[in-house]
Structure 1
Amino acid sequence: MQASRLKAAVALAAAAALAVGASGCAKSERDEDSGGAKTGGTFVFAGAGNPKNFDPIFNDDGESFRPIRQMYDTLVQNKPGTADLQGALAESWEHDPEGKVWTFHLRKNVKFHDGTPFNAAAVCFNFDRWFNMKGAAAQSQMIYYSDVFGGFAKNEAEGVGEPVYNKCEAKDDGTAVVTMNRYKGAFPGAFALTALSIASPEALKKYDADTVKQNGDSFEYSAFANEHPVGTGPFTFGGWDKAKGEITLNRNPDYWGEKAKVDKLVIKIIEDENTRKQELRAGTVQGIDFPAPADRKALAGEGFQVLDRPAFNILYLGFNQKNPKLKDLRVRQAIAYALNRQALVQTKGPGGTKVADEFMPDTVLGYAQDVQKYDYNVDKAKQLLKEAGAENLTLNFYYPTDVSRPYMPNPQEIFTVLANDLQAVGIKVNGVARPWNGGYKDDVQQFGKQDLHILGWTGDYNDPGNFVGTFFGRAKVEFGDQAMTEMFDAITKADATVDEAGKKTAWEQVNRDIAAKWLPAVPIWHAPPAIVVTKDVKGLVASPLTDERFNTVSVG
């Protein structure tokens, strides 16, 4: 039932469970489970930024998904340490020969945190909720839904298309049948997306989950999203103290799967990278994510566990073609030639980082070995700018603050290097720094204020549509590329190709054309992100998808 495209190469991510830990854990009575691991206590993990909220469908970033995936389950999930699929709320599944009808055989005796039963009706409630979501503000925040399912029962937001989803039927309590209007290569992998986690229907209704309000450049979410998230996961919501910057989750004693070994999980928001390191060394937190490349060796030498995940990601420089100068392919190519990406890799990339020539790793189906490459060439860049009449170009270059992403460990340093490269070929750069949530992502993805931006992606499942299709499969505000219908159509056709050989050929051609004909962005690098924990914590399994679950973690 798993997609044959789930490459063995990604299974390199199968890392041994980290033996890691913390001197600063809360005091409690401790016992050992049947496997000898300590139970009880508190695991404190440092987050780099605040979540948007805790409603899975309205999120698309790692800082939000980290607590969400501890509280919710999906129908299908990634096997720990790999991009392979295994059952979760669905024990098994199958589809018809056309890939349109998906039948899920659900796990029995599972309850939501509010005590209500998980069943096929609950599954269908969630699918129908997403499909029937009302309001442009709400729809605009459902990034993953739009990428996977295309559109809504009534499209109200910009940039959404024809819906893939048709209906969901509860055949009985244990069988949910989801019917699509057409085949899409995202399935079954997309059913493992954290954004498509299954929430309690009763809680969604009780706390007005569908209420999303836009106030200028920001969005407000419901009581469900901020105060009462209810899933089926190994941890329950204990509170979000925004003043202290702490999210508290409690052990769910009734969890259907492997029960959490710690009593509490605290995600402590520490925006400054140096402060995160200091607190790790002081023992006030037991884990940090995405350490700067220069810190990895030092932390390992101090006895911390530093585990690299395989680089299943991409960093790119995006063009907003609302700027008339950037609509000229020659200008975009000039910028590509101006970037000394190899020097950036060597000076700012984690060990093992590689220059990217395409927008997905070479382990993904459809990677083309013969795409046009843009090696560093100052003279070529200047020549193209002259031909395009863009020798006096000024661009607003947006980059995020208060965040460290797997593909982008230090945004400000990356921006500085790229900006210097651009200025070296005569392009004036106005740098605009904005906070990750409540600033940068809205400015870039919702309002398109920038000319250039840096952003990226860690793959959610092993399919080209999850990379190339997510970025360029339809018109997006952040790229201002509404006229690139040829690109959208080619990606749609490739994604709808059921035959494996035909799909491979179609995606390879898409990648060639993206590089040579369309160039909506410049791929920068693939970087292996690391996760660091103290030596006394055991059971943390690092994921190439940064999809770590903390129920396996013990402390002490």
Structure 2
Amino acid sequence: MSAYTRLLLACVSLASLWGCSEPQQDSNIRSRGFVYCGQDTPNTFNPQLTDGGLTADTLAAQIFDRLLLLDPVTHRPLPSLAKSWTMSGDGLTYTFSLREGIAFQSTDWFKPTRQFNAQDVVFSFKRVIDPSHPFHAVSGGRYPWFESQGFANLIDDITIVDPYTVQFSLTRPDNAFLANLATTYAVIHSQEYADQVLRAGKPDQLDHLPIGTGPFSLEQYLPNDLVRLNRHNGYWQGAAKMEQVVFDIASRGTGSLAKLLSKECDVLSSPVASQLPIINDNEDFDLTAQTGMNVAYLAIDTNKPALKDLRVRQAINHAINRDNLLSSVYYGTGTEAHSILPPMSWAYHHNSEALGYDPEKALQLLKEAGFDKNLSLTLWVPLEPRPYNPSPRKTAELIQADLNAVGVQVNIIMQDSINRFSNIDKFNSDLILTGWIADNGDPDNFLRPLLSCDAKAAGLNDSNWCNLDFDNLLELASRTSQLNQRLNFYQRAQAIVDQDVPVVPLAHGVHFQIHHNSLKGLQMSPFGTRSFSTVYRSEP
């Protein structure tokens, strides 16, 4: 069933709830908007509550704005809702001057009576960091990305200087602070809307019926089916060129490609690598690529008895043939990973001593550890293709074969998508096939949320590894203003990971996107986020 057909059925059955348009008004959807395929189903529309997925990667940039943006080339912070900022000499106080005249979205469930101001900034961040805040415990009270960064411990206070000036006081200097405010998770909500839903006794409505200042507002959501956004005509940078965007979230794998070829979809995100030649030969579509700040890796649960032994972790690393993965999964489009950091990071350790493919050495280490062909492990695998791993199932099967070749039996546990807080099978697994897309260009954005002790406490450090020397190096790197010193600290931190092997870096992927050539203005970002406000159709 096409996205358009489902839209019509949805409007018939849910008109009273969602205020859908009449069916005949949607007959020209291609001239009014476009359909975006190849994403997962969101479980919230508030990216503060997530650590990735459709909400953080794509939806947040349409519905919400942040104080800052990141330059996709230089990775430096740029003005957004904050038009300028200053930092105190000791690096502990940041003062932001906010733009005036910015309107929040008006929807069936909220009509704003005022414009964006400093109250909204304070509300948005204090909800995350203050356990006594009336919204802190709403929708589960978990803020995974912020928790993995130790954000609550970093922020001493957030205060309103005047209606359009807000001040952040830090407990210590942090070189990544501005970059973190530009991430897709640091969105600005409406305090006025929050007050309304709190008075109504429905505080969780803030997270599933969102209100932001972005170029599009939520119009309709059918789980496992579609998300429809409508143009925010009062958008402060000018109304978007397209009236609506429909996310077809029912499509998976080859089904997505079929919908693209039949023109039920206009855009296909993260196609399977084997599909690329088919598209390349079709003149109706354009294929674009972005070298991503990403990594696919295998997390080894260091809490499990057998995996506490360093020799076993080293053996797993030695057993995996990354060249085979690159040719069979990435079809030559990826690069072999020797570190969690991608080679395009300024802190990448080019002289890494990470372990390479050596199955004979793997056999020897397993025998020394007392696991001579008698080790059985479980491998948890989310099946959703991602830019860092275009075919997780195939990757898992290749890893399974590699480990079987050295006497390690692997039982694969498949999961449709990633939900780090509710997937029980993941927490019972020995190995986890996962990955990361950077939210900004700072190396801290890879190392801290994936491997720090704070990330372990937040449930995001899938290896359950906590090394105080590693954490101390991250702290030193965040405090110093000398680039050479920061580089030294980060490379020493990478060396600890190389030696202790809590993770096995596999590959760095290229993010591909396919779209019908009538669509113009689509942008790509190394951080996965991009606004659709500039997209338009050059022909009906």
User: What TM-score results when the alignment is normalised by the length of structure 1?
Assistant: 0.84
What is the alpha-carbon distance in structure 2 between the residues aligned to residue 139 and residue 489 of structure 1?
30
Structure 1 unaligned blocks of 5 or more: 1-24, 31-39, 152-162, 213-220
Partner of 1:388 in structure 2?
369
Q: In the superposition, relative to structure 1, how do residues 136 and 427 fare at CA in structure 2: closer, same or farther (>3 Å)?
A: farther
Partner of 1:353 in structure 2?
334
What is the alpha-carbon distance in structure 1 between the residues aligned to residue 255 and residue 462 of structure 2?
34
What is the alpha-carbon distance in structure 2 between the residues aligned to residue 201 and residue 542 of structure 1?
31
SS in 1 for 2:83: strand
Listed one character per residue, the Cα deviations across residues 291-335 of structure 1 (whole Å, up to 9, x for unaligned) are: 111211220211211111013111100011121111111110000
Partner of 2:212 in structure 1?
231
Partner of 1:481 in structure 2?
464
Shift of 1:494: 2.6
Partner of 2:491 in structure 1?
508
Shift of 1:483: 5.1
**Percent identity between the aligned chains?**
27
Shift of 1:444: 6.9
What is the alpha-carbon distance in structure 1 between the residues aligned to residue 365 and residue 337 of structure 2?
22
Listed one character per residue, the Cα deviations across residues 143-188 of structure 1 (whole Å, up to 9, x for unaligned) are: 111133443xxxxxxxxxxx10111111112211111111123221
* 1:46 counterpart (34, 37, 47): 37
What is the alpha-carbon distance in structure 2 between the residues aligned to residue 289 and residue 320 of structure 1?
31
Larger relative contact order (CA 8 Å, sep ≥ 6)? 1
* 2:90 counterpart (85, 88, 98): 98
Q: What are the equivalent positions in structure 2 for 1:537-556 lying under 5 Å apart?
A: 537-555=519-537, 556=539
* 2:347 counterpart (362, 366, 382): 366
Listed one character per residue, the Cα deviations across residues 354-408 of structure 1 (whole Å, up to 9, x for unaligned) are: 111111112223222222132211110000011111221111100012x111101
What is the alpha-carbon distance in structure 2 between the residues aligned to residue 49 and residue 81 of structure 1?
28
Q: In the superposition, relative to structure 1, how do residues 370 and 107 fare at CA in structure 2: closer, same or farther (>3 Å)?
A: same
What is the alpha-carbon distance in structure 2 between the residues aligned to residue 510 and residue 385 of structure 1?
26
Matched, 1:465 2:444: yes
What is the alpha-carbon distance in structure 2 between the residues aligned to residue 99 and residue 345 of structure 1?
43
CA contact (8 A) 1:350 1:527 kept: no
Letter in 1 for 2:348: Y
Partner of 2:192 in structure 1?
202
* 1:344 counterpart (316, 325, 336): 325
SS in 2 for 1:295: helix
Shift of 1:499: 2.1
SS in 2 for 1:171: strand
* 1:107 counterpart (93, 99, 102): 99
What is the alpha-carbon distance in structure 2 between the residues aligned to residue 459 and residue 483 of structure 1?
21
Q: What are the equivalent positions in structure 2 for 1:85-484 lying under 5 Å apart?
A: 85-113=77-105, 114-115=111-112, 116-133=114-131, 141-151=142-152, 163-208=153-198, 222-226=204-208, 228-242=209-223, 245-303=225-283, 304-391=285-372, 392-401=374-383, 403-437=384-418, 442-443=422-423, 448-474=427-453, 476=456, 477=459, 478-479=461-462, 481=464, 484=467
Structure 2 unaligned blocks of 5 or more: 1-24, 106-110
Alignment coverage as a number of residue pairs: 498
* 1:524 counterpart (485, 496, 506): 506
Shift of 1:492: 2.6
Letter in 2 for 1:554: Y
What is the alpha-carbon distance in structure 1 between the residues aligned to residue 91 and residue 535 of structure 2?
37
Letter in 2 for 1:397: L
CA contact (8 A) 2:103 2:116 kept: yes
Shift of 1:485: 2.7
Letter in 2 for 1:48: Q
CA contact (8 A) 2:226 2:250 kept: no
Shift of 1:59: 1.4
Partner of 1:20 in structure 2?
none
Partner of 2:50 in structure 1?
59
Q: What are the equivalent positions in structure 2 for 1:67-78 lying under 5 Å apart?
A: 67-78=59-70
What is the alpha-carbon distance in structure 1 between the residues aligned to residue 93 and residue 404 of structure 2?
53
Shift of 1:128: 1.4
What is the alpha-carbon distance in structure 2 between the residues aligned to residue 467 and residue 489 of structure 1?
16
Shift of 1:80: 5.8
What is the alpha-carbon distance in structure 2 between the residues aligned to residue 547 and residue 43 of structure 1?
18
What do you get for the CA RMSD once the two structures are aligned?
A: 2.5
What is the alpha-carbon distance in structure 1 between the residues aligned to residue 331 and residue 180 of structure 2?
29
What is the alpha-carbon distance in structure 1 between the residues aligned to residue 490 and residue 392 of structure 2?
30
What is the alpha-carbon distance in structure 2 between the residues aligned to residue 251 and residue 287 of structure 1?
18
Shift of 1:479: 3.6
Listed one character per residue, the Cα deviations across residues 37-87 of structure 1 (whole Å, up to 9, x for unaligned) are: xxx611110142101210121012131221222010000012467734321
Shift of 1:248: 1.0
